[in-house]
Structure 1
Amino acid sequence: MKNLGKLLKSTAIVMLLVFATSCSDDDNDDPVIIVEDDNIVETAQNTSSLSSLVSALAKADESSNNDLITALSSEGPFTVLAPTNDAFTNLLARLDGFDSLDDFNDEQLQDLLATILTYHVVSGAAVGSGDLTEGQIITTLQGETLTVNIGSGVTFTDAAGEMATVTAADVETENGIVHLIDKVLIPQEALDALNGVLLTSITDLAISVPSLSILVDALIAADGDLPTVLAGEGSFTVFAPTNDAFADFLMENNFGGLDDIPTEILTQVLLNHVVAGTNLSTDLSNGYVSTLSTAGPNDANLSMFINIENGVVINGGSTVTAADNKATNGVVHIVDAVIGLPNIVDHAVANPNLTSLVGALTADGNTTFTTLLSDSETDFTVFAPLNSAFDSFTNPSDNDINSILANHVISGAAANAASLSNTYFNTAATNVDGDNLSIYVNVDDGVILNGTSTVAAADIVATNGIIHAVDTVIDLPSVVTFATADPNFSSLVGALTAEGQPDFVSVLSTTTGTDPAPFTVFAPTNEAFANLAAIPSGDVLTAVLNHHVIAGANIVSADLSDGLVSPGTLEGDTLTFVIDSDSNVTITDGSGNSGIGIIAVDVQANNGVIHAIDTVMIPDTTN
């Protein structure tokens, strides 16, 4: 490094000093009272917004090679580009391991600081902003040049190609002129010395790494704004695929080059490599994070599965090969494979906690589910049992495993946890008649399915739907399942299980194909029971409850017609259905009470169907 002490004495060096505008500017947050005899150093010392510059000057002078404060107090004239406190704050943020100017704690670092400071000084002339021209090259006291740009403002470009903008021009002092700038400029000499320490933006970092050149080209080809976004404010974690990774991706997907990939798809693929926030390798853990890709249903952000059990593996196929490449606005982890846009099957395969589910879905070469859940034209909601759920499942009713698996899939809707409410959905499973089974979702305390299975991890977003991991396998439901799961039927359950009543639970749990299943149950709600003057007991209650069940038939709403008389209920009496001109269905019970409303239809169990009604039905008491 040059002997700055001798250099300063021979040229009367002016150091980087920043000052504000004169006190006549009423809008200035930090007015400077210009004293006629104040030199650059004195002006800076009297200006709070230049305190970092003054401190930097003093820190550099701790080296025996430097005497910058004395030089900047000399006769001049000088032109100084003076970084503000915020500019120094930004510089320190870019220096890995530097928290303050005190970290310039040895002579070598202090001389390096002096090199940076003298890069902001031109000696021998006080050049006003009006004397600058577009493209002008100026030689600094440090020995390297800066480029002037005149546009909507005045900027200076340093050796790294970064620009500092003049925020206050033409501040005159006793020994020169100062222009305030918003960034500390870095000469090539300092860039070389700070290699690996001076952080750049994520975009600049990618540009500087030869093995990431295709990624840079992809960013430009996909969305012209992406390089700017990843060079700007914010905090990002980028999993950056190498050139070899892109070559494999192009070949595997039959693309001749980046130009063959539709712009929207390429954009979403790249965004699927970006996570908000700075996540160093030590911050990563097994689990899901959201990427910036909005390729999920209804523009939802895709999920990314991170597995750190053996290195860092993303979505089961992309491994981090070089971690923790820090940037000013985040961190870059270099990966060996492009992270594609995952569908539901991809997410299931990537998560080691779902291996039992994947094994069940693909047992004996079965491709039914992998084909279905890879469909890009349909949205799905999948309740995916964890390995522990399969370990504890005994299949007590000996139901077909494929039907059980289908009972975890809702086709045609991608429901995130926030959109769920206490309601029924139809699953992909069917009964013997081909009717889709229902699943009851309760969100009163978490998300519980059919009263037995709780969502343990919600909102795993894929391109074609959403996965919710659950802690219990959801067996095929009986009509009893829904009666006990739905709190609207708690009064009915109380009546069915009242002391002295037959074992209704066992009867209504009978599997289809075994007499008397299947059942059609007209289930009174809690309000229907509340409207009774008194709830009957004993044999009368038994007769009333039996009057709500038709055995040996799975009668869905589509089977009803105006004037239809049902088969006999378990009590013996029939029901009559009336459909008005607005398609509203009402029931006349065995005792002739009419206008009984059906308020929810076709809650489909494996052994029957439930229709919720607003009134407790009464059988004929005369027979």
Structure 2
Amino acid sequence: MKHLKQTLQALLFVVIAVGFTSCSDDDDNGNIIEPQPQSIAEFVAENPNYSSLAAALERTNLTATLDGQGSFTVFAPDNDAFDAYLNGTALADVPVADLTNLLLNHVLGAVKTSADLTSGYESTLATYSDTEANINMYVNVNAGVVTVNGASTVVSADNVFSNGVVHAVDAVIDIPSVATFATADPTFDSLEAALTADDSFTYAATLSDMDGTFTVFAPTNAAFAALLEDLGATGLGDLDAATVAAALNLHVIVGANVRAAGLETGTVETLGGDIEIDAENATITDANGRVINIVVTDVQAGNGVVHAIDAVILPELPEVYQSIAGFVAGNEDYSLLLAALEYAELDATLAGEGTFTVFAPNDAAFTTFLDGAALTDFTQEQVAQILLNHVLGEVKMEDDLSTGYETTLATFGDTDANINMYLNFEGSTTMINGGSSGTGANITGTDFTFNNGVVHTVNAVIELPTVVTFATADPTFSSLVAALTREPAFDYVTTLSTANGTSPAPFTVFAPTNAAFTSLVAELEGINALADIPTATLEAALNLHVIAEANVRAGDLMTGTVTTLGGDVDVDASAATITDANGRISNIIVTDVQASNGVIHAIDKVILPEL
């Protein structure tokens, strides 16, 4: 087949000299070239410019193949191309088996005109060693010039004969090595650069050795670009040569031509050490647990096979500790958050080991919050509590979060009771404590992971919540909010927003749910809606739900009579119930929603004054 390819190439050049001009003219005019009434072999034999190709075909007994029935595409080198390739060696001195495969490396088993050729791999009739695996060629049609394996150029195309088509080429197409494809295929430009990145590297010579056998997992340009981005490098020159070499070694199996069908799941030894292959899923896992996909298989060369992969296989790398504090310090858009952390002496906490979730406000958010004030206008403890109100004590990725309450590291007063935050995922925007339109924030970015936790970005500083914050943020209490604000004279919102340390704060609020208010309307005779309840009755009822001057958490509730703003109620701490003046029993169904100025316990029935 090699002989045939050479014959075809010689034939093509003869055609250029004596008859290809008219064919090319027809092709340039867009006409379909009619097949010549002769076979490819006959054409070669009749053209002295292809005598070397003809002689090679005869010596390898391939003349009959190209003279018979078939559908061939031949890239045909002329005598000058053969002379340059042989470089003084007599054709008779070339082993017949080698010459045969060389010729077959110029032949495709199907008719491919120039219009059919695209940039990519074609299978020739040459075979690898003593197998039936066909050797590939890389065809590049970019820039209007057709080149084969980066070394041979088509100089006259689409010369059609009775059993196929001939494209004249200006050089003999040698049996490719795995290095040939790395240099010929622009998909592997970055790999080629890596193989030659240091003067000490011998990869190009090694992988060009036709006496060797290699299986190469070849990263694409995109794979190298992703690696450089991950490492924060602008180019291969930024990487240590030893690291590059260690990585490249992991891409080569020596002594085996392992095609896709021969890949087996398990540990595979490469030049650089072991990698794990999952043959079923076509993946490779490196020492760092990175999973690489095999995206193209079985690009067969004369000394091995190439499989393209979508990431660079890396040796085991020392872990680089990246903390949340390090992220903040390295991001200029969070300079005010960094300043606040340093002022509150919390930077070391978020730089150290731990499992944190941080909702991080950027500089714009802090500027809005400060509203012209300086951080030093706040006490260190105030800033610390505000910052801790943005931190959870465990890692919560976006998928781990849902609508409901989370516990922050901020604390109530001088106690160990952690303050909550309310997240709402129900709308198009994820809101914390009612969102940035109030004293909360909206989540703008999620799942920035670091060694000691995860960061979700927010568009506002999350202020310390009051009991009113949770009533307004949690839609479970929308009826309660409607009741608290029904009358212009009601000052519940103002009162219940009083900061801790100022009378009548702190508060303990027994908060009826929406369902509780719905039941109340159904229970009261002649009442069809909240608006129908007499103002005096509603005000008296609301007062019964608030204990002033006390932050009574579930563990501190005691059985007995408790005085509220509206009078006494009876609490059964063991049963978690409240009995009002009418003997009606309310169940405490959620406890210890901690705010900065008090605590909320949700109840399933509205407490009423004596009716």
Specify the TM-score bucket, using the shorter chain as the normaliser: 0.5 to 0.7
Q: TM-score, normalization: structure 1?
A: 0.56
Secondary structure at the residue paired with 1:238?
helix
1:104 and 1:113 in contact (8 A); partners too: no
Q: Tell me, what secondary structure is at the counterpart of 1:103? A: helix
Secondary structure of the residue that 1:362 maps to in structure 2? helix
Give 1:464 deviation, angstroms.
2.3
Alignment of 1:443-482 (within 5 A): 443-445=425-427, 446-452=429-435, 453-482=441-470
Q: Determine the C-alpha separation between the residues in 1 that align with 2:474 and 2:420.
A: 12
| Shift in alpha-carbon separation, 1:497–1:102, aligned structure 2, 3 A | closer
C-alpha distance in 2 between matches for 1:429 and 1:77: 80
**Displacement of 1:112:** 2.3
The aligned residue for residue 334 of structure 2 is 354
Q: Is the 8 A contact 2:152 2:173 kept in 1?
A: no
Q: Does 1:437 align with 2:414?
A: no
Q: Does 1:373 align with 2:350?
A: yes
Q: Which residue of the partner structure matches residue 407 of structure 1?
A: 389
Kindly state the Cα deviation for residue 114 of structure 1 after the two structures are TM-superposed.
5.9
Alignment of 1:115-154 (within 5 A): none
In 2, Cα distance between the equivalents of 1:383 and 1:620?
Answer: 46
Bigger radius of gyration among the two: 2
State the Cα deviation string for residues 409-450 of structure 1 (Å, max 9, x = none).
01123232x332211011111111231110000011221000
- Choose which of 581, 585, 588 in structure 1 pairs with 2:579: 588
1:554 aligns with 2:551: yes
Structure-2 change in CA distance of 1:478 and 1:77 (3 Å): closer
Counterparts of 2:336 and 2:550, CA distance in 1? 36
Is the contact made by 2:508 and 2:550 (CA closer than 8 Å) also made in structure 1? yes
Match of 1:391 in 2: 367
1:88 and 1:354 map into 2 onto residues whose CA distance is: 50
Task: Tell me, in whole angstroms, the C-alpha distance in 2 between the residues paired with 1:618 and 1:476.
Answer: 31
8 Å CA contact 1:483, 1:493 repeated in 2: yes
Q: Distance in 2 between matches of 1:238 and 1:110?
A: 27
| Aligned mate of 2:574, from 579, 596, 601 | 579
- For 1:105, the equivalent position in structure 2 comes to 145
Structure 1 counterpart of 2:407, one-letter code: N
Match of 1:422 among 397, 403, 406: 403
Letter of the aligned partner of 2:402 in structure 1? S
In 2, Cα distance between equivalents of 1:409 and 1:528: 33
- Give 1:259's aligned residue: none
Q: TM-score, normalised by structure 2?
A: 0.57
Check conservation: 1:427, 1:439, Cα contact below 8 A.
yes
8 A contact 1:245–1:338 mirrored in 2: no
Rounded to whole Å, the distance in 1 between the matches of 2:367 and 2:287 is: 35
> Which residue number in structure 2 is paired with residue 165 of structure 1?
none
Q: The residue matched to 2:346 in structure 1 has which SS?
A: helix
Match of 2:71, SS?
helix
Q: Name the structure 1 match of 2:130.
A: none
Distance across 1 between alignment mates of 2:148 and 2:218: 33
Q: Cα gap change, 1:459/1:8 in structure 2, threshold over 3 Å: closer, same or farther? A: same
Cα offset, 1:554, TM superposition: 0.3
Is the CA contact (8 Å cut-off) linking 2:118 and 2:140 kept in structure 1?
no
SS at match of 2:486: coil
Query: Match of 2:360, SS?
Result: strand
Tell me the distance in 2 between the aligned counterparts of 1:589 and 1:159.
90
- Paired position in structure 1 for 2:538: 541
Secondary structure of the corresponding residue to residue 568 of structure 2: coil
Hey, what's the Cα distance between the residues in 1 that align with 2:390 and 2:54?
80
For 2:389, give the aligned amino acid.
N
**1:496 shift after superposition:** 0.2
Write out per-residue CA displacement over residues 536-556 of structure 1, whole angstroms, 9 at most, x where no aligned residue: 231110010000000011011
* Distance apart, 1:597 and its partner CA: 1.7
* Aligned residue identity for 1:90: G
Question: Which string of whole-angstrom CA distances, capped at 9 and with x for unpartnered residues, describes residues 363-410 of structure 1?
Answer: 3xx5x422222333x321111001111111147996811111110001
Any idea what the Cα deviations from partners look like across 1:560-603, whole Å, max 9, x if unmatched? Answer: 24xx12531000213312424xxxx2222333222x22221111
Is structure 2 residue 130 aligned with structure 1 residue 90?
A: no
| Structure 1 residue 609 corresponds to structure 2 residue 599 | yes
- Asked if structure 2 preserves the Cα contact closer than 8 Å seen for 1:573 and 1:620, the reply is no
The 1:420/1:114 distance shift into structure 2, 3 A limit, reads same
After superposition, the Cα gap between the structure-2 partners of 1:101 and 1:589, relative to the gap in structure 1 and judged at 3 Å, is: same
Instruction: Work out whether residues 556 and 602 of structure 1, in 8 Å CA contact, stay in contact via their aligned partners in 2.
Output: yes
**Percent of residue pairs identical:** 31
| Preserved contact between residue 220 and residue 308 of structure 2 (Cα < 8 Å) | no
Return the offset for 1:13: 7.1
SS in 2 for 1:210: coil
Q: Quote the Cα distance in structure 2 between the aligned partners of 1:359 and 1:38.
A: 81
Secondary structure in 1 matching 2:487: coil
2:346 maps to a residue whose letter is: F
Pairwise CA distance, 1:354:
1.5
CA-based RMSD of the aligned residues comes to 4.8
Alpha-carbon spacing, 1:601–1:519, altered in 2? closer, same or farther (3 Å): same
C-alpha distance in structure 2 between counterparts of 1:39 and 1:247, whole Å: 50
Q: Which amino acid aligns with 1:483?
A: A
Shift of 1:605: 0.5
Amino acid at match of 1:597: N
* Structure-to-structure mapping, 1:249-288, within 5 angstroms: none
For residues 113-159 of structure 1, give each alpha carbon's deviation from its aligned partner in whole angstroms, at most 9, with x where no partner exists.
369x9xxxxxxxxxxxxxxxxxxxxxxx977975xxxxxxxxxxx33
1:435-483 deviations in whole A, cap 9, x for unaligned?
1110000011221000021111222122222211111110101100100
Partner of 1:39: 66
**Distance change >3 Å, CA 109–CA 537, structure 1 → 2:** same
1:80 to 100, 104, 107: 104
Give the Cα–Cα distance (whole angstroms) in 2 for the partners of residues 248 and 612 of structure 1.
63
Query: Which residue does 1:260 correspond to in 2?
Result: none
Contact 1:211 1:243 in 2 (8 A): no
Aligned pair count reads 413
The residue number in structure 2 matching 1:508 is: 496
Cα distance change on mapping 1:565 and 1:293 into 2, 3 Å = farther
Instruction: Verify the 8 A CA contact 1:202 1:329 in the aligned structure 2.
Output: no
Q: Give the partner amino acid of 1:609.
A: V
Alignment gaps of 5+ in structure 1: 16-35, 46-52, 67-75, 93-97, 118-140, 147-157, 163-184, 214-226, 250-291, 302-326
Alignment of 1:318-337 (within 5 A): none
CA separation in 1, counterparts of 2:290 and 2:546? 44
* Closer, same or farther: CA 541–501 of 1 in aligned 2, 3 Å: farther
Alignment of 1:207 onto 2:195: yes
Q: Superposed, which structure 2 residues align to 1:518-537 within 5 Å?
A: 518-532=506-520, 533=522, 534=527, 535=530, 536-537=533-534
Q: Kindly tell me: are residues 230 and 602 of structure 1, through their superposed partners in 2, closer, same or farther at Cα, counting changes over 3 Å?
A: farther
Rounded to whole Å, the distance in 1 between the matches of 2:421 and 2:67 is: 77
- Mark the runs of 5 or more structure 2 residues left unpaired by the alignment: 1-5, 14-47, 58-62, 83-98, 123-137, 158-169, 202-214, 244-284, 292-306, 436-440
- Could you tell me which residue of structure 1 aligns to residue 93 of structure 2? none
SS in 2 for 1:342: coil
Aligned to 1:153: none
Alignment of 1:219-230 (within 5 A): none
Cα drift, residue 201 of structure 1: 7.3
Structure 1 residue corresponding to 2:177, chosen from 137, 143, 159: 159
1:203, 1:402 → 2: CA distance?
50
The structural deviation recorded for 1:340 is 3.4
Q: Which amino acid aligns with 2:577?
A: T
